[in-house]
Amino acid sequence: MAESLKFNDENENKEKVERPVIYSAFFVDDPEKLKQKYPPVFPKEFYHHSTIEYRPKNGKQGLEVGKKVQLEIIGRVTSDKVDALLVVN
């Protein structure tokens, strides 16, 4: 089930504003393509990013904003409470 998709670590459509870092992530270039390949299981769905770190201790230090990378999808976990794609991050 391994495949590569393009991800971007900054949402290019949003205005750049200084805010505290809540999480670092890779943002999906084409969420609709990902949604078609992996249809939602629950009504509440999120296809827009892959979280790297929640509340990073170093804030923005060390983050390469705007860098394009490819993440490999290696699986999917679905239970009665969660549905998530597993990626090599």
pLDDT per residue as tens digits for the range 13-37: 556 666 788 888 999 999 999 999 9
Q: What are the tens digits of pLDDT across the range 34-86? A: 999 999 999 999 999 998 889 888 877 777 888 888 989 999 999 999 999 99
For residue 8, pLDDT beyond 70: no
Convert 2-70 into a string of H (helix), E (strand) and C (coil). Answer: CEEEEEECCCCCCCCCCCCCCEEEEEECCHHHHHHHCCCCCCCCCCCEEEEEECCCCCCCCCCCCCEEE
The phi and psi torsions of 8 (rounded to 5 degrees) equal -130, 135
pLDDT of amino acid 15 = 63
Residue 6 pLDDT class (50, 70, 90 cuts): low
pTM to 2 decimal places: 0.65
pLDDT of amino acid 20 = 81
For residue 7, pLDDT beyond 70: no
Question: How many Å apart are CA 63 and CA 31, to the nearest integer?
Answer: 22
